[in-house]
Structure 1
């Protein structure tokens, strides 16, 4: 069995592996359910709530669901919102490593105008050299029809939730809020590896030298490699920030659904005012895992400390600003929570998801099990043993990006513009922010493709 700890998507603690015999016959549903039950009984954070005699005759997906201590706002506010299972363990592990079959663009879907059933897609970002990029898509593009059919609340899932080649009809929102359709672009999905370190730049406003970085997922390296490529890329960016005397920092996590805690630890170690002797975060497990792990590994199993990084700029920072949204989750929130005891942390945007729990990747390929599951196994706490963000972090400075999206690094972006204004107090940043806010359109968001990246939910939902 190969095991990876993650923070709801992903918090990595260790990897336990055994030999895989590719000749092993596929397991029956009964064998798969036995495997699911045994692992859930040991690992699941709410193991005391698992039914004593579950129905083992169900298909694996339904059986897994039957074991969960499901969240309910009234009766189970402490319940599980994030555990999931996938029929292909290979696809699960690849997606957690940033590899997936995709046209190469992430987008959100909104009702536009909000009092209608008409739906439009707004491109959030495009992966470089992807089919979408080669077709000419950029951040902020709007599409209103797919394969010749206008998107509506009744058909968007059917039209978009496939891996087939699609033809998108571009549209523009005119000055009075109307929609004007234009040209079409055809895009086919391919298997892509996404580099999460997406964009960085610096701004200079008087004595303020501000570093800005866009980070889409906590991934240390490309899937099935061990070279630390993406962590090293962050290190190099911060080395440049340091040599440029950056004294203020904006980290854009608005589309970041989580990632490996090893990368969250590395990233936080580049920013913190703490040292390598200081605890970044603690992990709380069920009684059985706690007892077993304490005997085998000792107390150090239950916390991670910061790393010693020569590229650290913490001593030059008075504050760090995070750009966040309803798509900001798990390892992103862990980073925010973990840094709070050591420095002043400010949030700009909208309320985050509230994933203060960690999951583990479980596979049983050596037993012929094709399924992979990602059950919640732990709760995350900072140095002060605080974990009070289960309903999400509320931003210090609310801001919404609206329907008119600007390129990364453009101060007209409402979130970036607000952070720049809070740091500098200059009218330049403030005016840009206000101009952007005035252009926000009346639209009601339905969902986004970031949900698919985060795992545990269908790509589209109503």
Structure 2
């Protein structure tokens, strides 16, 4: 969740996960060590001051941390880091970046990209070779123009085979020009081909509203929406263009008499809570702006101040009154999930369950029930931006027990031979249609199982596993 706050920093509350993130380090060979140490102390004191105020585990911050460390190392040193044995309640998700502007842009879906997202797998059990399978391609992106489509398999980058030791430098270094070598599946094995495709990455604004369809099966009119990030509008826009687009889709669903809904969040790492509440309010059954979508729990230092300044409503996100709501025509909603389903996506599941049946199909979600804030320096003197966890979220029944993710009600793994999103033979959508219709009118495709060990995805790397963002504009706390 990302509220915009002002401290002397603006803050954004986000549910975000750290996954495969590496900080960019500048060459400091020509910088005087004393100057660098002084600069680090200035940045680290700024980090420490804000963390002591806002961090959810602020009572766990070391008393005298080493402020001469590099900022990224210092930030890590003061976290209440997760440990499965000694700190099962610890922090898995806070992070810091050297460029606050890039951080802010990424929260609105703008980044330098080829325009395709992919999943990384070991080429075979026990292998150190890696493949990248394309999950989806953004319309009008460099990757689409180069001919990439969902299901394509990449085995080489710029002439080098992808391995466990080089995949980060080959795929996540931020370079511009790529030559991708492709492979294919033959008799269950990954086989290289001679086919290559050149792609030049560019700064691209991704529209999170990826695909919508309506399927008529007997008496069932099924609405289907692929939604890949909770973003109200493009970067640098103060509008609600993407939320308006979602509203229009549900307006069409309502006009067409949709009475079953499949929400595809399998690749959605989260986003702004305003957009999450907007979407939930379009499908929730028996809800209005008096009903609670979720509540927040902040640290004991900040909570009394917030209550005094804003009252208990500060901690509550209610549903919205939406004329396009189709909840009165629904008994349930089906949500398609994977490990990439995180934060605001999981909030949809948790927040709607007190009001209607939410059936999840796919694999276990990421498990992120805590929120963070984006903190940047309003003065512009400090260029860093950080994303510390600051609260935990609960639904209207006080439930927040999904730190291990939501296990699917119906488990379906994505196969190695991926079908296009929206195709009724695509594995997860096909299962949803079967659950809805109770018959095999949409026959389940015979898909070859994917038994390759997964290493994570570009979505998790780009979005750090998910974000849930709640925007505020007038929060100006004094020192507390």
List alignment gaps of at least 5 residues for structure 1.
Answer: 11-25, 458-462
> Following TM superposition, where does structure 1 have runs of at least 4 consecutive aligned residues deviating by more than 6 angstroms?
none
Structure 1 equivalent of residue 193 of structure 2? 181
Task: Within 5 Å, give how 1:70-149 maps onto structure 2.
Answer: 70-149=81-160
Cα 1:355–1:208, aligned 2, differ >3 Å: closer, same or farther?
A: same
List alignment gaps of at least 5 residues for structure 2.
Answer: 1-7, 18-35, 467-480
**Alpha-carbon deviation of 1:6?**
2.5
Q: Deviations over 1:127-186 (max 9, x none)?
A: 111111111111111111111222222332232222221101122112353514131111
Structure 1 equivalent of residue 329 of structure 2? 316
State the distance in 2 between where 1:359 and 1:233 align.
Answer: 27
Task: Within 5 Å, give how 1:237-386 maps onto structure 2.
Answer: 237-273=249-285, 274-366=287-379, 368-386=381-399
Cα 1:456–1:362, aligned 2, differ >3 Å: closer, same or farther?
A: farther
Check if 1:8 corresponds to 2:15.
yes
8 Å contact kept, 1:42–1:289: yes
Taking structure 2 as the reference length, the TM-score comes to 0.89
8 Å contact kept, 2:342–2:465: no
Structure 1 equivalent of residue 412 of structure 2? 399
Match of 2:462 among 427, 441, 453: 453
Please give the secondary structure, in 2, of the residue aligned with 1:419: helix
Taking structure 1 as the reference length, the TM-score comes to 0.92
Please give the secondary structure, in 2, of the residue aligned with 1:432: coil
**Alpha-carbon deviation of 1:365?**
4.0
Please give the secondary structure, in 2, of the residue aligned with 1:329: coil
Task: Within 5 Å, give how 1:161-240 maps onto structure 2.
Answer: 161-164=172-175, 165-240=177-252
8 Å contact kept, 2:340–2:465: no
Structure 2 equivalent of residue 69 of structure 1? 80
**Alpha-carbon deviation of 1:224?**
0.8
8 Å contact kept, 2:431–2:444: no
**Alpha-carbon deviation of 1:2?**
4.0
8 Å contact kept, 1:135–1:185: yes
8 Å contact kept, 1:106–1:126: yes
State the distance in 1 between where 2:59 and 2:459 align.
Answer: 32
Please give the secondary structure, in 2, of the residue aligned with 1:232: helix
Please give the secondary structure, in 1, of the residue aligned with 2:49: helix
8 Å contact kept, 2:13–2:372: yes
8 Å contact kept, 2:155–2:192: no
8 Å contact kept, 1:3–1:360: no
Q: Deviations over 1:212-234 (max 9, x none)?
A: 10011100000110110000000
Give aligned pairs, total: 439
**Alpha-carbon deviation of 1:441?**
3.8
Please give the secondary structure, in 2, of the residue aligned with 1:366: coil
**Alpha-carbon deviation of 1:9?**
3.4
Structure 2 equivalent of residue 17 of structure 1? none
8 Å contact kept, 1:211–1:249: yes
8 Å contact kept, 2:179–2:196: yes
Cα 1:426–1:226, aligned 2, differ >3 Å: closer, same or farther?
A: same
8 Å contact kept, 2:10–2:377: no
8 Å contact kept, 1:293–1:301: yes
Structure 2 equivalent of residue 440 of structure 1? 449
State the distance in 2 between where 1:412 and 1:231 align.
Answer: 29
8 Å contact kept, 1:9–1:96: no
Cα 1:169–1:290, aligned 2, differ >3 Å: closer, same or farther?
A: same
8 Å contact kept, 1:3–1:363: yes
